């Protein structure tokens, strides 16, 4: 059994741009947002939380640029 | 069973089932915020569209696939009913609090406005059509459940309820394509329409997550970032704060929202290519190129109007001018120009208001989440007029082609596209003028100017949501609210499906010759 056999993961793999990085970003997106919401609620806004958000946005933008360079 | 009623009934039933599903999903948000009564209201509300939808779906299960006529009637009827049934959570929460049912939700004048069914239907229709005009006085005091419902329906409506229905209740065959096209969409990413709508949702979800985190980084609290990212990307414009984006009075947040709104105004097939590394489409695709040219020129002109007008510094004029033009032309409707921090939009000079109204009139790219007549129609009109004027200078035997977005059209094709663009623009303008006159008639004399009324109607019909201060539970007469429901409805579906549905209704009711 591989990851694509799970219901939500399979649907994401089938619907997207046939790219596992984007698929991965889509799948971890809600987890990152939930984690940030919980951390901000419990500990307030901090550098670590902001780095987490910046990491997600950075990977997305960086990967779009990477795909452009590779195109 | 065959016939228009059966086909329309079956497909509208599916749309209502999908709406019921959205309400069920929203129960989670109420539970997270411990608004138990919100969860009950969502559950009870869901029962209505689910039962009606299931009944229609089952009753007409064997109906034929929709033709073009059916598709238009389904779109018109479906969007109308979604607006009506989508008002139930507003009504139930407002009445539940008023009747003193056990709830922790606080009763406020803002919530009380939703006890009036017309206000609730207005809010729901404004949300689903991605308009953003509101019947609330102060969004901040609304229960989280209703803040979420307003956001969620705008987010869904931005892509389209039929696109949603097709994606989750997929049905292979030509019927899905017909319905898809009737919801003011025609672009395909894949040969299969079901694959296309699933990819649209995939892109939309990914961009939503990126937008939420970008707004969080710009300084918004998580709940605010979630709501504003969803309504910004959907170019809807509902806010959860009293003064829209002006509440934050932050240049960083303004700057983060501009690209989010622009993303929403670019067609999904172009996004798909860009995600695959084909960034050339930012300038190679005619509509996308013009989105940027048009936004830049409009912002520059508005900056000039504002700098020689109400703003003292060029920086302030640029910040508020660029944001408001992009917000208007992408048909989002977020507002940073308010009296609390600078100069309210309604107090801007008439030429600035009219320029913003022009932005709302044109809108962004077809195949995106925006309203207006769309850039491609504007370009088709300009090129078509030039083509027809130049025709006089050519001999009758000349074979001419009209080139639009890389397509070389024959004379017949060029005429067809030109006529379609002309009809939509003429109807759009007619409804805009009629609506403006009607609004001026029903509003208290001397209170609002012609520019204010024109701006407000253009905002409703362009599904924008910027307000010159006319829209509100008390400030707008009931006739005006009903008229605006019509403007938002025809604006979202680009008029023709509504006229076809009305003609079908009158025809079958014996009211049409």
d(CA B86, CA A54): 36
d(CA B498, CA B127): 19
Task: Go through chain B and tell me how many residues it has.
Answer: 513
Taking CA–CA distances from A59, the nearest residue in chain B reads B210
Task: List all residues of chain A from 3 to 32 with a beta carbon under 8 Å from chain B.
Answer: 11-12, 14-17, 19, 22, 25-26, 29-30, 32
CB–CB of B278 and A14 under 8 A?
A: no
Q: What angle do CA B195, B365, B503 make, to 5 degrees?
A: 80
d(CA B131, CA B229): 15
Distance from CA of B200 to the nearest CA of A (A): 8
Residues 6+ apart with CB under 8 A from B9: B56, B59, B60, B63
Specify which residues B402 forms β-bridges with.
Answer: B409
Residues of chain B with pLDDT under 70: 1-2, 166-179, 181-186, 508-513
3-state helix, strand, coil in chain A (%, to 5): 85, 0, 15
Q: How far is CA B105 from the centre of its chain?
A: 29
CB–CB of A68 and B279 under 8 A?
A: yes
φ/ψ of residue B271, rounded to 5: -60, -40
Distance from CA of A1 to the nearest CA of B (A): 24
Taking CA–CA distances from B214, the nearest residue in chain A reads A57
d(CA B439, CA B133): 15
Distances (CA, A) of B492 to A43, B79, B158, B344, B485: 43, 9, 9, 27, 11
A41, A56, A69: residue with CB nearest B213: A56
- Say what the pLDDT of residue B146 is: 96
Half-sphere exposure of B397 (CA within 13 A, CB side): 0
B195, B209, B278: residue with CB nearest A33: B209
- Suggest the residue from B218, B225, B275 to mutate for an interface test with chain A (most A CBs closer than 10 A): B275
| pTM for this model (two decimals) | 0.91
CB–CB of A32 and B205 under 8 A?
A: no
Whether pLDDT at A7 is above 80: no
Contact, B141 vs B110, CB < 8 A? yes
Task: List all residues of chain A from 40 to 59 with a beta carbon under 8 Å from chain B.
Answer: 40-41, 50, 53-54, 56-57
Distance from CA of A70 to the nearest CA of B (A): 7
Contact, B435 vs B483, CB < 8 A? yes
Task: Quote the tokens at residue B115.
Answer: 């006890």
CB–CB of B205 and A16 under 8 A?
A: no
- Residue pointed to by tokens 């609002």: B448
Distance from CA of A38 to the nearest CA of B (A): 9
Task: Quote the tokens at residue B390.
Answer: 């130049």
Q: Which residues in B lie closer than 8 A to residue A53 (C-beta atoms)?
A: 213-214, 216-217
- Say what the pLDDT of residue B106 is: 85
CB–CB of A53 and B213 under 8 A?
A: yes
What pLDDT, in 10s, does the model give residues B14-52?
A: 999 999 999 999 999 999 999 999 999 999 999 999 999
A30, A37, A67: residue with CB nearest B277: A67
Domain holding A14, by residue range, is: 3-70
A14, A16, A60: residue with CB nearest B210: A60
B202, B212, B277: residue with CB nearest A12: B202
- Say what the pLDDT of residue B512 is: 53
Band (A26; pLDDT cuts 50, 70, 90): very high
Taking CA–CA distances from B215, the nearest residue in chain A reads A53
Distance from the first to the final alpha carbon of chain A: 32
Contact, B18 vs B57, CB < 8 A? no
Task: Quote the tokens at residue B499.
Answer: 């006229």
Q: Which residues in B lie closer than 8 A to residue A60 (C-beta atoms)?
A: 206, 210
Q: Which residues in B lie closer than 8 A to residue A9 (C-beta atoms)?
A: none
Contact, A25 vs B206, CB < 8 A? yes
Distances (CA, A) of B80 to B170, B334, B486: 22, 25, 9
- Which residues of B sit within 8 Å Cβ distance of A? 195, 198-199, 201-202, 205-206, 208-210, 212-214, 216-217, 221-223, 226, 272, 274-279
Q: How many domains does chain A have?
A: 1
- Suggest the residue from B209, B270, B284 to mutate for an interface test with chain A (most A CBs closer than 10 A): B209
B195, B213, B223: residue with CB nearest A32: B213
- Say what the pLDDT of residue B184 is: 59
- Say what the pLDDT of residue B103 is: 81
Q: Where are the beta strands (DSSP E) in B195-351?
A: none
φ/ψ of residue B183, rounded to 5: -100, 35
Q: Which residues in B lie closer than 8 A to residue A30 (C-beta atoms)?
A: 209
């Amino acid at each position: 059994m591989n990851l694509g056999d799970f219901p939500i993961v399979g649907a994401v793999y089938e619907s997207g741009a046939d790219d596992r990085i984007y698929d991965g970003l889509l799948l971890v997106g809600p987890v990152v947002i939930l984690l940030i919401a919980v951390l901000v609620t419990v500990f307030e806004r901090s550098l670590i939380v902001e780095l987490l958000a910046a990491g997600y946005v950075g990977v997305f933008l960086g990967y779009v640029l990477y795909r452009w360079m590779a195109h | 069973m065959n016939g228009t009623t059966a086909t329309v009934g079956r497909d509208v039933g599916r749309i209502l089932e999908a709406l019921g599903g959205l309400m069920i999903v929203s129960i989670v948000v109420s539970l997270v915020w411990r608004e138990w009564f919100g969860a009950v209201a969502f559950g009870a509300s869901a029962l209505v569209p689910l039962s009606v939808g299931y009944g229609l779906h089952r009753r007409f299960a064997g109906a034929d696939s929709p033709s073009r006529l059916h598709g238009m009637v389904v779109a018109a009827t479906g969007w109308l009913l979604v607006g009506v049934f989508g008002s139930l959570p507003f009504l139930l929460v407002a009445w539940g609090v008023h009747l003193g049912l056990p709830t922790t939700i606080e009763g406020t004048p803002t919530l009380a406005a939703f006890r009036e069914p017309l206000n609730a239907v207005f809010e729901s229709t404004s949300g689903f059509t991605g308009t953003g005009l509101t019947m609330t006085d102060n969004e901040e005091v609304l229960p989280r459940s209703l803040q979420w419902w307003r956001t969620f329906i705008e987010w869904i409506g931005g892509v389209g309820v039929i696109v949603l229905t097709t994606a989750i209740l997929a049905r292979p065959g030509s019927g899905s394509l017909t319905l898809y096209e009737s919801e003011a969409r025609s672009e395909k990413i894949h040969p299969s329409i079901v694959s296309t709508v699933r990819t649209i949702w995939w892109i939309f979800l990914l961009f939503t997550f990126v937008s939420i985190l970008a707004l969080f980084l710009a300084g918004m609290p998580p709940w605010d970032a979630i709501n504003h990212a969803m309504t910004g990307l959907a170019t809807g414009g509902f806010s959860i704060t009293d003064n829209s984006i002006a509440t934050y009075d932050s240049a960083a947040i303004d700057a983060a929202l501009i690209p989010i709104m622009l993303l929403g105004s670019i067609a999904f097939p172009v996004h798909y290519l860009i995600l695959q590394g084909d960034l050339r489409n930012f300038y190679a695709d005619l509509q996308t190129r013009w989105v940027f040219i048009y936004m830049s020129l409009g912002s520059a002109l508005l900056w000039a109007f504002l700098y020689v007008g109400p703003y003292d510094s060029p920086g302030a004029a640029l910040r508020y001018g660029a944001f408001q033009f992009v917000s208007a032309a992408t048909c989002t409707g977020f507002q940073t120009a308010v009296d609390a921090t600078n100069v309210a939009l309604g107090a801007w000079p008439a030429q600035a208001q009219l320029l913003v109204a022009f932005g709302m009139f044109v809108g962004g790219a077809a195949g995106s989440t925006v309203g207006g007549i769309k850039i491609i129609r504007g370009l088709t009109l300009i090129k078509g007029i030039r083509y027809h004027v130049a025709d006089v200078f050519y001999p009758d035997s000349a074979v001419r082609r009209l080139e639009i977005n890389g397509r070389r059209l024959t004379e017949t094709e060029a005429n067809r596209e030109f006529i379609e663009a002309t009809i939509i623009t003429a109807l759009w303008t007619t409804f805009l003028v009629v609506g403006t006159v009607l609004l001026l008639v029903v509003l208290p004399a001397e209170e609002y100017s012609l520019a204010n009324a024109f701006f407000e109607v253009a905002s409703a019909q362009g599904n924008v949501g910027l307000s010159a201060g006319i829209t509100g539970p008390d400030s707008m007469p009931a006739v005006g609210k009903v008229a605006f429901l019509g403007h938002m409805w025809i604006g979202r579906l680009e008029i023709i499906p509504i006229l076809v549905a009305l003609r079908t209704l009158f025809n079958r009711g014996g009211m049409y010759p």
